[in-house]
Structure 1
Amino acid sequence: MEEETLNPQSKTLTSEDDNNGDQPMPDLPDQDPGSSDSDSDSGSEDGDQAQKNLQLQTLEAELSTNPGNYDAHVQYIKILRQIADIEKLRQAREAMNELFPLTPSMWQDWAKDEASLSTGSDAFPAIEKLYERGVFEYLSISLWRDYLDFVQENDPSVRECSPAGILKARDLFERALTAAGLHVSEGSKLWEAYRKFEQAIFDATDETDNQARDKQIQRIRTIFHRQLSVPHVNMRSTLLDYKAWEVEQGNILNAGSSDLDGISSHVASAYKKALEMYNARVHLEEQICRQDMSDSEKLQHFMNYLKFEQSSGDPARVQMLYERAITEFPISSYLWLDYTHYLDKTLKVGSIITNVYSRAVKNCPCVGELWVRYLLSLERGHASEKEIAAVFEKSLQCILTLDEFLDLYLTRIDGLRRRISCPVEGESVLDYSLIRETFQNASEYFSQYLKNTDGLLRLHAYWARLELNLHKDLQAARGVWESLLKICGSMLEAWQGYITMEADLGHVSEARSLYRRCYSKRFPGTGSEDICYSWLRFEREFGSLDDFDRAVQKVTPRLEELQLFRSQQESKLTEEGENSSKKNVRDKRKQVSEIPDEHHPAKRQKDASQKPKKAHGKDSDVLNPGEQTVEKIKPKGDKPDIQNEQRMKERVPEKTKAYADQCTAFVSNINLKANDEHLRQFFSDVGGVVAIRLLHDKFSGKSRGLAYVDFSDDAHLVAAVAKNKQMLLGKKLSIARSDPKHGKKEHARGSESRESAETSNGPRAHQALQSSHNRGSDNVQLRGRNTFAIPRNVLALGQTANKPKTEEQGEDKPKSNDEFRNMFLKG
């Protein structure tokens, strides 16, 4: 590839492998093209070049499909340095730095490569910018020293000791000391470099200019005093250097006397205090500098050191140690979270905190909490809307959990709301459309993942409240609730939130209309009953007597239907428990006698006579013992669905398997999309799962949201029941121990089911049922085994319920769906 090779006469880059990145690779001497050694070397070089080109192609393909592969970036840059492809190397480094921070050694290599390829003052600003980017990302004493040396050697103003150049160098040294001057093990290197720089200026000062020389001497003395007041390694050596320097100035006669002789009292006091601080930290320094330990042990030593520094109460030292720790462990999300939390709590300088957050999210982009706190820190620092929006959009490109994404959206909306409702002086007021657009994007994203969950409800409730209170748009607020109902129409809380908004605004008719729309819907758990009772309470508090009577007329048959449905469900569960017990008895007898059932025809006849009879080929069924047999309603004029009947017959098993439920958990309120594997994973931490029986509708085949989970022993069962009220696929499970004996007792009270329902539901259920008796509810004939959601003949107010019976009444044809609908409308 032509663009991957350079002119042989061009400068070569430093080699990481052969020269450890310190010296430039020398140009190869010219060889005689006719020599055999030259031919051999040429062939070897061609083979190496072909191999590297192949590696480059492979890495380029990998990075094009997976740009987040950190190791591929590193290897790609390494090979480009070896073949000295300058343009591609620059692009590769920039591409990697857009996604990841570069290590200090990578910044050093980059700056040295550019310096070796460029000469003159024109290249200086670009290389200086590279150093600035490098020292921003991580704390590195060696990188700071390279930066300082580069400026002193290549900046013409600094090299010529012009006033502007000296001022620039001093500012850079002060920045270095602020960043790393408190580094216990290596910070003294920066102090020494600073002193040497000032000493060089002193040596270059005209000897006749006594004022300038005295001023420069005082500068060097001040740097010594500052260094002696900071705990560092080799503090005594620094003290001796200071005394020797003072001897040169004629202020101390004997530098070899005891350490503090001849030193001013305030300097000696500061030195003693710094020495005590160093002695208190020396063992902690030794622990974090050890090489013979794992990363987890080293990180723990850093955390112990940080606790010690925090107890000392010096924020600058704590921040310095955090910077050292994240340089060692740049992708530790725990460390970044701890660091930023400390800064939020302690420091009040917004620019420092936001700079740390910008580095934190670059090192750990998949931690949603860091992005959320980053947005908050920008808002506290009064960052511009453009900057905050850019950070928010960048966070949405990361791989986060749904809860983290939801928290991000809500944090962004919180900030917009605050800026609109309470604008900061000097800032432009934002348009409300920004909030609406953010809500819309969030709704579109989460609707496919958080259907029927509290998170989606919270988002839309917040949206509707802002539309109503902040934007003063009632129709828009209603539109938000309506859009939520299209997604979560079977979620009781969604309807309740909408109704609450209308009721709080005094819109009684609108709230009543919502009750009429949702009271007949099927909600999980006891939600269907709850919405009926809620409507009755609403009419007591807001409606007239006629409104209350109409509500009672609506909800009473609904409550009866729900009670019947509950009773049927309990009966089915009881039957399953009884069949399971009988099955266990038969199995035990079979094991003892080892004689098949078919050898006892009398026994088979007896069992058959005890089982409920079922009419084959007819659409009828037999209810529980003691209950009246009723026929299933067929709409008038409808043709029989032969295919549907055939499918239903196929779904009905020939023989129902019975279970003892001796060590079984009964699980309810299961997401209808859940399967056996979801339940098995849910109980994986408990263990001991033997079998899972997810109950399905007899006719439709769909999940009923109920399941039995058999466990190997009671210990596993108790642990499983302890997971009650935990979430699975967005729904809170109800887990209890299956008790067949309790179900059998309930079945024995079949004739008393209506009375027990009145007792359990309290006065409201009693009132509804009593109203049904007064109307003559036996005029509404229910047919079939399951009457849930079947049209009911609801009487309108003012109509009499008792109709004269005629001989032909029993021969009336069943009413069609249209006739039932017309009767509802009249009511």
Structure 2
Amino acid sequence: MDETLNSSEPQPSDDPMDEAEPLPSLSKSQNPKPTSDTDSDSDDSDSGDESQQTLQIETLETELSNNPVNYDSHVQYIRVLRKKGDIEKLRKAREAMSELFPLSPAMWQEWAKDETSLSSGPESFPAIEKLYERGVYNYLSVSLWCDYLNFVQEHDPSVRECSAVGILKARNLFERALPGAGLHVAEGHKIWEAYREFEQAIFFAIDETDVEGREKQVQRIRSIFHRQLSVPHSDLRPTLLAYKAWEAEQGNVLDASSSDLDGISAHVASAYQKALEMLNARVHFEEQISKKDIPDMERLQEYMAYLKFEQSFGDPARVQILYERAVTEFPISNDLWLDYTRYLDKTLKASSIVREAYSRATKNCPWIGELWVRYLLCLERGRAPEKEIAAAFEKSLLCTFSSFDEYLDIFLTRVDGLRRRIARAGEVGDALDYTLIRETFQRASDYLSPHLKGTDGLLRMHSYWARLESNLGKDLVAARGVWESLLKISGSMLEAWQGYIVMEIETGYINEARSLYRRCYSKRFPGTGSEDICHSWLRFEREFGTLEDLDHAIQKVTPRLEELQMFRLQQENKSIGTMANQRETLSKKIAREKRKQRPNIADEQRTTKRKKDIDPNITKATYEDLRAFFSDVGGVVAIRILKDKYTGKSRGLAYVDFSDDVHLTAALAKNKQMFLNKKLSIARSDPKQRRMRESVGRNTPMEHGEMSGHTNGQTNTVGESDSKDSSDVSNATLAAQPQSAYRRHAVENVQLKGKNTFAVPRNVRPLGWTDKNKQKTEEAPEGEDQTPKSNDEFRKMFLKS
């Protein structure tokens, strides 16, 4: 939770002005004249202080005008105004600060005491009482509650005179304080004692002749004692002694000086024993959180451990009070507020307590978007009026969040609530118009689009918006306008086009969807998006279009796919070239390291012998060399140099796959051309099957040709191995293969058999295939030898040519 305590927002102090001097006199009629030098010096000093205060006030007013959310400036401004005694400005300054920040309990106490000292008449009582109410709402403070209770007893005429109305008012106020402050383990006993003293004062005010009234009051005081003895608090044992002493005053025989439970009713003794056990179980935690000499982070961790312990007992009231104590100590810990409100959502659901907690949480940590989102949901869950929800939403937009996604989440949460409210319009009286949703979306788009350009969040918002325009607003034109506005912002997002197309298809507007495909198929999208949209168009036409539509799509898509394939190959070549350079650099480095070592004489002799056996004019052919050789032809899809599986050396053969027959024919025209100082022989791998495939059409199994480079024109067959190893380019065998627009990648490493299964894996059988002719053997056409040729035989065939 480090980030929660290091927030840019300042943490309110518990007593920022606790040591401030009493409010000075505000009488303006007194203007004594100096009668001596001493008086004159004193007057000059006061005048100097006043001038300094005035200058400081003006400086702080300028700072707050430029930055109204500067917490420290507000505190200093209030302190200086209080010292100067400018009551009107002081009131306005406190009100202004309370609108932006929750004031600490000490600040509320000081404010209420200042107002009390200025005017204690009955006319000022309601305003001061309201200040106390606002204070106890913000934070849990036993001290503030005690001040509030004392103020009511001293300044409310009805309470002071012990009238029936006044007594009822005071009792209700005490009962309000008990569920919160009265359960405070460390200080709660102060509220109970004040309650007992109030009732005791009423007892003494009852006439002695009113026996029934006095007895009723005794029972009331006894009940308060019993209730207090059943609550774990730090003053539990002294409370027991006070109770026994009080019972003795009522004529009951009890040992008031003993802390045992003799003479106390069984149910009171049992409740007290249980409360004592609970207190003992919490003493250690109370000691840990009350330490003042440890860092705040450590104290917060102690609170979290205490909360975990309290939650294990399953008493929501005690858990809630401990959370209130924690947030009073750490008011800007966003993790603490999130944890607290999450607990309330789970246990209390839509009660007013939850709503008030969220209101205070967003005021203490306004920079946390998740708190605002959950606050809006809490208001909706509690069926709050639209006016209250709208106010909370507008207030959230004035806050500063760490990311634009938080603003997006708030906007979408607002739209969710409006949509649900419109959907249940028959259940509520304040039915809403759809235009409110449209306006909310438009505000979100205007604000977020420049910052979320090309992101999934912006796509999600516009997709949601378009769907509501179509389904809830019943306006397809407006829905299309939403998609068009997104394309202007994020037209390079494939998902934006796909979402638009899906909407048109789902609504049955096929021609409009086709028009979108025509607009976007030639655009460049990240990754494989460009290929994906082309194939998507072809699938669309197969499912929805006519044959003419399909042919038109193929005509448009095929050149685009070829262009994209060439681009991919260029990128791949760059990558391969970079890797080759790295390998070459590494090999040179290794060679240099070897040369540094002392050579072995026998190794030198063997090396010399090998060099004599090798033709100095022979060079190795690489993938780059072959690709460069066919660069003027184009259409190269893949190159495969066959290598021995045991030695890893070249077999002297290579296959080259081409994208179509046009490129393949151009490649065959390069037969007998020079390649690395050698003549290169180029041929198809199965020329006997070409005529048959051409008669069937371009969707038949792909043609496969091969080319061999050698001075004598030797070639090899596909799938055969050569026991001889060769690193000479003159032994390299090349293969060429046309591919249709539907299939971009060549099938490699497949076993081939027979004429019509060429380039088809053995485990793939055509639709409707049967094995009726399984026992029949195919007869070779007259004059053709179907016996597979070895590499040597294939080379001899080329030698004859």
Assess same fold via TM > 0.5: yes
> Which 5+ residue runs of structure 1 have no aligned equivalent?
1-13, 594-621, 632-747, 771-827
Map of 2:740 onto structure 1:
766
Equivalent residue, structure 2, for 1:334: 335
One-letter identity of the residue aligned with 2:226: H
1:150 Cα offset (Å) = 0.5
Does structure 2 conserve the Cα–Cα contact (< 8 Å) formed by 1:559 and 1:768? no
Shift of 1:769: 7.3
Q: Distance in 1 between matches of 2:55 and 2:169?
A: 47
In structure 1, distance between residues paired with 2:739 and 2:351: 61
Q: Distance in 1 between matches of 2:460 and 2:593?
A: 58
| Partner residue of 2:479 out of 448, 459, 477 | 477
Alignment CA distance shift 1:590-1:754 (3 Å) = farther
* Residue 102 (structure 2) aligns with: 101
Tell me the equivalent position of 1:699.
none
For residues 62 and 322 of structure 1, the distance between their equivalents in structure 2, rounded to whole angstroms, comes to 35
2:59 corresponds in structure 1 to 58
Residues 268-417 of structure 1 aligned to structure 2 (within 5 Å): 268-400=269-401, 401-417=403-419
2:316 & 2:225 partners in 1: Cα distance?
Answer: 23
CA contact (8 A) 1:350 1:377 kept: no
Bigger radius of gyration: 2
State the Cα deviation string for residues 370-411 of structure 1 (Å, max 9, x = none). 000000000011101111011011111111111111111111
SS at match of 1:345: helix
Deviation at residue 321 of structure 1 after TM alignment:
0.3
- 1:79-100 CA-to-partner distances (Å, cap 9, x unmatched) read 1111101011111111111111
* Matched residue type, 1:144: W
Q: How does 1:423-572 map to 2 (within 5 A)?
A: 423=425, 425-572=427-574
For the residues of structure 1 that align with 2:552 and 2:228, how far apart are their CA atoms?
88
Write out aligned runs for 1:502-651 (5 A): 502-576=504-578, 626=628
Alignment check: 8 A CA contact 2:332 2:365 kept: yes
Kindly state the Cα deviation for residue 484 of structure 1 after the two structures are TM-superposed.
1.2
For 1:176 and 1:41, locate their aligned partners in 2 and report how far apart those are by CA, in whole Å: 48
How many angstroms does 1:313 deviate by? 0.7
Question: For each residue in 1:229-274, what CA deviation from the matched residue of structure 2 results, as whole angstroms up to 9, or x when unmatched?
Answer: 0011121111111111111111235433562121111111111111
One-letter amino acid matched to 1:432: Y
Report the count of equivalent residues: 612
Could you tell me how far apart the structure 2 residues matched to 1:321 and 1:59 are? 37
Contact 2:140–2:180 (8 Å) recurs in 1: yes
**Could you tell me how far apart the structure 2 residues matched to 1:552 and 1:326 are?**
67
Helix, strand or coil at the partner of 1:312: coil
Q: Which residue of 1 aligns with 2:231?
A: 230
Matched, 1:198 2:199: yes
The verdict on how the C-alpha distance between 1:170 and 1:527 changes in structure 2, with shifts beyond 3 A counting, is same
Counterpart for residue 41 of structure 2: 40
Give CA-to-partner distance per residue, 1:724-767, whole Å, 9 cap, x none.
xxxxxxxxxxxxxxxxxxxxxxxx98775779x99xxxx99734
Secondary structure of 2:440's counterpart equals: helix
Give the letter aligned to residue 521 of structure 2: Y
Deviates more, 1:51-60 or 1:291-300: 51-60
Distance in 2 between residues matched to 1:255 and 1:47, nearest whole Å: 63
Please say which of residues 383-392 and 497-506 is displaced more in the overlay.
497-506
Matching residue of 2:79: 78
Work out whether residues 25 and 85 of structure 2, in 8 Å CA contact, stay in contact via their aligned partners in 1: no
Tell me, in whole angstroms, the C-alpha distance in 2 between the residues paired with 1:238 and 1:458: 62
- Structure 2, unpaired ranges of 5+: 1-14, 596-623, 634-653, 665-736, 745-801
SS across alignment from 2:260: coil
* Distance verdict in 2 for CA 1:44–1:509, change over 3 Å: same
- SS in structure 2 opposite 1:150? helix
1:493 CA drift (Å): 0.4
Q: Distance in 2 between matches of 1:199 and 1:312?
A: 35
Tell me, in whole angstroms, the C-alpha distance in 2 between the residues paired with 1:303 and 1:85: 43
Distance 1:44 1:754, change over 3 A: farther
2:246 partner letter: W
TM-score (norm 2): 0.72
Asked whether the 8 Å contact 2:355–2:379 carries over to 1, the reply is yes
Q: What pairs with 1:84-123 in structure 2 (closer than 5 Å)?
A: 84-123=85-124
For 1:737, the equivalent position in structure 2 comes to none
Q: Which residue of 1 aligns with 2:710?
A: none
Structure 1 residue 32: Cα displacement: 6.8
- Give yes or no for contact 2:344–2:354 (8 Å, CA) kept in 1: yes
Query: Structure 1 residues 764 and 452 mapped into 2: Cα distance closer, same or farther (>3 Å)?
Result: farther
Deviations 1:441-486 (A, max 9, x none): 1111121011111111100110111111112222221221121112
Q: Is the alpha carbon distance of 1:30 and 1:312 closer, same or farther for their aligned partners in structure 2, counting shifts above 3 Å?
A: same
8 Å contact 1:80–1:89 — kept in the other structure? yes
Alignment CA distance shift 1:87-1:559 (3 Å): same
CA distance in 2, matches of 1:590, 1:28: 101
Instruction: Report if the CA contact (8 A) 1:231-1:275 is conserved.
Output: yes
Matched residue, 1:147: 148
Describe the SS at the equivalent of 1:139.
Answer: coil
Counterpart Cα distance in 1 of 2:184 and 2:298? 21
- Give the C-alpha shift of residue 572 in structure 1: 3.6
- Note closer, same or farther for the CA distance 1:71–1:769 as it changes in structure 2 (3 Å cut): closer
**2:272 aligned partner, one-letter code:** Y
Q: Is the partner of 1:41 in helix, strand or coil?
A: helix
Cα deviations across residues 38-62 of structure 1 (Å, max 9, x unaligned)? 1111111112112222211221111
Of 504-513 and 376-385, deviating more is 504-513
Q: Which amino acid aligns with 2:453?
A: K
Deviation of 1:581 (Å)? 6.7
For 1:508 and 1:388, the matched residues in 2 are separated by: 41
Moved more, 334-343 or 582-591: 582-591
| One-letter amino acid of the structure 2 residue matched with residue 390 of structure 1 | A
Check whether the contact 2:23–2:114 (CA below 8 A) recurs between aligned residues. Answer: no
Using the TM superposition, give the Cα deviation of residue 591 of structure 1 relative to its aligned residue in structure 2, in angstroms: 13
Match of 2:129 in 1: 128
Alpha carbons 2:232, 2:279 under 8 Å: kept: yes
**Aligned partners of 2:23 and 2:82 also within 8 Å:** no
Identity fraction in percent: 65
Deviation at 1:624, TM superposition (A): 9.2
Change (3 A) 1:769 1:224: closer
What aligned pairs does 1:158-197 form with structure 2 within 5 A after superposition? 158-197=159-198
Deviates more, 1:29-38 or 1:414-423: 29-38
RMSD after superposition: 3.4
Sort the Cα spacing of 1:764 and 1:39 in 2 relative to 1 into closer, same or farther, 3 A. farther
CA contact (8 A) 2:140 2:325 kept: yes
SS in 2 for 1:220: helix
Q: Normalising to structure 1: TM-score of the pair?
A: 0.69
